[in-house]
Amino acid sequence: MELILKYFPNLTEDQIDKFSKLEALYQDWNLKINVVSRKDIDELYLRHVLHSLAVAKVIEFKPGTKIMDVGTGGGFPGIPLAILFPECSFHLVDSIAKKLKVVDEVVEGLGLENVKTTNKRVEEIKGNYDFIVSRAVAAMPTFVHWVKGKIAKKQNHEIKNGIIYLKGGDLSEELQDYKTATIYNIMDFFNEDFFETKKVVHLPLKYKG
């Protein structure tokens, strides 16, 4: 928890309480339904929570923003971002039901009222979102194809509506066709070695009416 406060010192008491509860909730549920590896559970705040919050160093979501987390797995980056931005709505989507079972239990355990979950493939989801976040569930061209037509028209932020993607490694080949993509090195925000090769990618997407 100190790790989160190191980079986000202005959290409210309620946010600190919710972030503090994450570890016990995940440890408890992970014993019943394994969604996070053992090593990752031991370093939950570094590898999952803080990693998810790198998105917040690129953009501060304004109240009322609609965000979809595609392939949320155990609830990352959606749950940490939902704690950080309580006035935004988060839709966590995954095609694997057992993962969402854990997410639902964690959401309930935290009393998060700005999160809903759906057990479907993202292509089947209806509706528009200001931003679509995800953590390396597919190569960017595949991901763009999945979320086509799901971006809201109205722009409310300094950076344009679209995809905010957490990804590692060399992205030059994967992003060569996306000239509007911006790559942020997470090491510019957080100084832990874990983030050495990790990036946040912002790819604006146009509204398709």
Binding residues for S-adenosyl-L-methionine: 71, 76, 122-123, 135
As a whole number of Å, the CA-based R_g of the chain is 16
Q: Which residues partner with 93 through β-bridges?
A: 70, 118
Q: Distance between CA 125 and CA 141 in Å, rounded? A: 19
Name residues whose C-beta falls within 8 Å of residue 81's C-beta, 6 or more positions apart in sequence: 52, 53, 55, 56, 61, 67, 69, 88, 90, 133
Q: Distance between CA 74 and CA 100 in Å, rounded? A: 7
Q: Distance between CA 1 and CA 111 in Å, rounded? A: 19
For 119-153, give the DSSP string: ES-GGG--S-BSEEEEESSS-HHHHHHHHTT-B-S
Q: 10 Å Cβ neighbour count for 101? A: 16
Residue type, 188: D
Beta-sheet strand order (sheet of 66-70): 115-119, 89-94, 66-70, 131-135, 162-168, 198-204, 182-185
Residue type, 139: A
Which residue positions form the known binding site? Answer: 71, 76, 122-123, 135
